[in-house]
Structure 1
Amino acid sequence: MVEIAVQDLVRATGAALHVGAAERVCRGCAIDSREVGKDAIFVAFPGERVDGNAFAPKAIEAGAACVVLTVEPSEELLSLAAEHGCAVLTCDDPTEFLLRLAKDYRARLGCTVIGVTGSIGKTTTKDVLSALLAKRYRVHATRGNYNNLIGLPLTILSAPADTQVLVLEMGMDGAGQIERLAACAQPTFAVITKVGTSHIGMLGSRENIACAKAEIISGMASGTADCRPTLVLHGEDDFTPYIIERFAQPANVDVVLAGTSIDDDVYAAHVELDDEGHPSFDITFEDGTTLRTHVAVAGAQSVPNVLFAVAVAHRLGVSCAEIDEALGALELTGRRAQVRRTADGGRVIDDSYNASPESMAAGLDLLASLPCTGARIAVLGEMGEQGDEAARLHALTGAYAAAKKLNLLVCVGGELAQEMAAAARMMGMDEGDVQVVSSCDVLIDRYAKLLREHDLMLVKGSRFVGLDRFVEEVC
């Protein structure tokens, strides 16, 4: 974790020192006073309901070496800090404070940094990368949803001093955010998984989304003669040429294409799914070597994410044997296409973490592709952040679901769930095979005991719908 003297903390961030010894060494960083350990840095974030500045005394008493406020400290707080030997700093923007501090620590780590962004598949790609690179390096990676302007710097600041590779997921909900994250992380390798429709409600078009994702290039490190800055893109994404021509080539960044075409630099062929939906396929690498491998993750939709990861890992010297071993033992962040069994023998594809139109389609593809002698059921929640396109995209999702010949489609939510259901009926599903429920609570009451032996159910929706609670009731 970060270890830094107060005087260097001030230098790196531009914060103002009010009291405390400049030589005092701080170790670790927290934004929750309950997580403050001895010698930690506590950064207070003001909020509408909870003001982190009010918890500075608790952090001091917990042993913090430094507290960083966004308000002028009271004489009482300064006295308490002096009594405990704690430095008190102030800053205008705690987010910027974290980003500057993390950038300083990243530079001192001197490790290889890989940034992963995209509309879908970020977390899976990050997890696969971490598993592959751990075969050869000491890896530190984003955990949970720590992929935003606060979570990413906290991830960097928690990295052990001997970290050799940092794998950082980069999320966003608006233009300019990836640029700030990339400026902090300065990745040598970057992956853009896909330009989809997530956040189209905020950014207005897929072109704007592509531009926002391509901001990762602006912060890429210069690299070395042996390791040039490299961007990995999906060879079959329609915005890949646009990103290359407008952003990658002007920045003199190498581009590696990964996909299913023999024209891609790294490509997959002969994809086959086993009874649990786990894919086996051939990988051909940039140097022409090939590998037949098996991935312990359900769904053909995981193959592109694996390719992005192996493209980077292979460039960093991970052998084919190491790649094959790691892929066969993958464990991904929870609730992403995880096949679970009920007590009655039914199966649930738990993909309840989040949803977009593209990932909904991938989930429905998986539901249709797995062997099943019972009923195929889809429980689909509404999708957030679709803006003016929301009704159309929900209708397209409903129509796509109808094409999968389901025995039952349950749509969860309000007007947008009704849009999904109406489109499914319009595309031929029987009235009684398409149901709408208003909330996860109603869903649990009506359908928690529905699944029987040999049945297969997909559960997917945006996080605000809360379908993870339904999965726990079913399983």
Structure 2
Amino acid sequence: MVELAVKDIQEATGARLLAGDPGSACTRCIIDSREAAAGDLFVAFPGERVDGNDFAASAIEAGAAAVALTREPSKELLDLAHERGCAVFALDDAEEFLLSLAHRWRRILGCTVVGITGSIGKTTTKDVLAGVLRQRFRVHVTGGNFNNLIGMPLTILSAPRDTQVLVLEMGMNSRGEIERLTRCAEPSLAVITKIGTSHIGMLGSRENIARAKAEIVDGMVPVPVGAEAGRPGAAPLLVLTGEDPFTPFIADTFARPAGVEVLCAGLEESDAVSATAIELGDDGCPSFTLTLEDGSHARTELAITGRQSVSNAVLAAAVASRLGVTAAEIDHAFRALQITGRRQEVRHAASGARIIDDSYNASPESTAAALDLLCTLPTRGRRIAVLGEMGELGDESERLHGLVGAYAAAKKLDLMVCVGTDGAAEMLAAARLMGMDEDVTLSAATAEEVVRLIGDDLGPDDTVLVKGSRFVGLDRFVEEVC
């Protein structure tokens, strides 16, 4: 929890102090006035439909210690602030204010920071790493999808004073965002999970995506002096996946010229940290041999499903081993993992059908991996895929949706339901072109329509994959049938 005096906030951000005692303290940072309580700093973000400045008075009345506004306050608001002993800041950019404030708190913490980005797998990698590091350290980690220019600084500002390792997920929608996040967080270790096609509609090519993700090196720093995790003064370390074709480009063009050490972790024995001899159990959970940099190894098993989870786990193991976690400790953590929900989470429908809930988000690569899992799991009933369309693919949308449809057809599914509009139609057309019969390829506009189409027809032995971008809302289908 943040512990900053009003004068320190002013110094860190350059905001103008219009009212309040410079010596008074703020102990939490919020952006929702409905959460306001004594000691809080409420930052008002302007929005298209809702303007946070309109709710400053309610935050003050709830006991907030300070409010930060992006428009000039009225005399009535200032009078209320004086009456309640609440500080009032005036600022031009709420986003930059939050980043600057989080940067100050990160410096005060003096802990080791790990930054994680990539096109797919970053949330799973973050969850796995946090689970492993908790074997030894007090860890604070990004919750849910708090990985953007607002969510990440809020995560930093919520870190307790005794945090030893801060694990931060960093997402982006355009070039320059990862740079702003990493300069705020100053990670000493970082991971780029994979360069895929997510955001290709905004950035134009996978090379541009690689350049955007590589911005994470711009803010990297040596392990801070006094840090309790890692070797103080050690050079920053970037962990890359050995099998990604953009790894040499990122390593040689961005990381090494910036003085950042590069370590490859992956599924080949030649990787510095590797996972080999992978086997998938009947429950979809993989077992494999993990080998660390020092040659130590363990035969381990993940408590999460899917072969693709192994790549994420080995990236996490590479970071953890650099921070002193042993192979035995990593093995113990892998077997007890819990990850953010709706990522290949196995549930059961009321009918008894097994539901693979992967409705959190989707890209072409992650959808293909999810289809692989569906067709690997043993089942006595039908294999059914409920596939929502994928967002942020731009001019590549038609082609990439078609490729996913063709890939699904090659899997010889018993039933496929494509959900959405144009992208769903492309998947459906490609699947039929590749030989899937019309009677086993259905279309639906919404999750509710999927419920009407197949909700009552799921048998107790069926296995159903539910996968789509978040805006499709396929989690509603899962909740209806489970």
TM over 0.5: yes
Q: Which one-letter code corresponds to 1:98 in the other structure? A: L
Identify the residue that residue 62 of structure 1 maps to in structure 2: 62
Which of 426, 440, 464 does residue 457 from structure 1 map onto? 464
**For 1:30 and 1:42, how far apart are their aligned partners in 2?**
5
Q: Distance in 2 between matches of 1:225 and 1:169?
A: 23
SS in 2 for 1:63: coil
Alpha-carbon displacement from aligned partner over 1:111-164 (angstroms, at most 9, x marks no partner): 000000000001000000100000100000000110000000000000011000
1:352 Cα shift? Answer: 0.3
**What does 1:147-186 align with in structure 2 at a 5 Å threshold?**
147-186=147-186
Name 1:34's counterpart in structure 2: 34
Paired amino acid for 1:73: P
Superposed, 1:192-203 pairs within 5 Å as: 192-203=192-203
Does residue 413 of structure 1 match 2:409?
Answer: no
Please list the CA deviations of residues 423-463 of structure 1 after superposition, one character each: whole Å capped at 9, or x if unmatched: 11111111211111111121111111221121111000001
1:87 to partner: Cα distance:
0.6
Deviations 1:153-204 (A, max 9, x none): 0000000110000000000111100000000000000000000000000000
Question: Which residue identity is paired with 1:439?
Answer: T
Q: Give how far 1:75 is off.
A: 1.0
Q: Does structure 2 retain, via aligned residues, the 8 Å contact 1:336–1:353? A: yes
The residue aligned with 1:100 is 100
Cα deviation for residue 222 of structure 1 reads: 2.6
**Gaps (5+ residues) in structure 2?**
224-230
Partner of 1:249: helix, strand, or coil?
helix
* Secondary structure at the counterpart of residue 250 of structure 1: helix
Is the 1:279–1:298 Cα contact (8 Å) retained in structure 2?
A: yes
Match of 1:247 in 2: 254
Match of 1:278 among 285, 293, 298: 285
Q: What pairs up with 1:273-422 in 2 under 5 angstroms?
A: 273-422=280-429
For the pair 1:43 / 2:43, whether they are aligned, the reply is: yes
Q: CA deviation at 1:226?
A: 5.5
Q: How far apart, CA to CA, are the structure 2 residues paired with 1:269 and 1:413? A: 38
The superposition leaves residues 342-374 of structure 1 with CA deviations (integer Å, 9 ceiling, x where unpaired) of 233210100000000000001000001111111
CA distance in structure 1 between the partners assigned to 2:429 and 2:252 by the alignment:
41
**1:119 corresponding residue in structure 2:** 119
Q: 1:294-318 CA distances to partner (integer Å, 9 max, x unpaired)?
A: 1000110100000010000111111
Aligned-residue offset at 1:225: 5.8
Q: Secondary structure at the match of 1:291?
A: strand
List per-residue Cα deviations over 1:79-125 (Å, max 9, x = no partner): 10001111110100000000000000000000000000000001000
TM-score normalised by structure 1 residue count: 0.99
Partner in structure 1 of residue 2 of structure 2: 2
CA contact (8 A) 2:27 2:41 kept: yes
Match of 1:191 in 2: 191
Q: Do structure 1's residue 131 and structure 2's residue 131 form an aligned pair? A: yes
More deviation, 437-446/187-196: 437-446
Query: Cα deviations across residues 365-409 of structure 1 (Å, max 9, x unaligned)?
Result: 000111111100000000000000000000000000011110011
3-state SS of 2:300 partner: strand
Give the number of aligned pairs: 475
- Contact (CA 8 Å) 2:28, 2:158: kept in 1 or not? yes
- 2:431 aligned with 1:424: yes
Asked if 1 retains the 8 angstrom alpha-carbon contact of 2:222 and 2:233, the reply is: no
Compute the TM-score of the two structures, normalised by the length of structure 2. Answer: 0.97
What CA deviation, in whole Å up to 9, does each residue of 1:224-265 have, x standing for no partner? 666321000010001000001100110111111011111111
Could you report, residue by residue, the CA deviation over 1:9-37 in whole angstroms, capped at 9, with x for unpaired residues? Answer: 10000000111111111111000011112
Deviates more, 1:104-113 or 1:409-418: 409-418
Q: Which runs of 5+ in 1 are unaligned?
A: none
> Mean Cα displacement is larger for which, 71-80 or 438-447?
438-447
Q: RMSD of the TM alignment (CA)?
A: 0.9
Q: Is the 8 A contact 1:29 1:36 kept in 2?
A: no
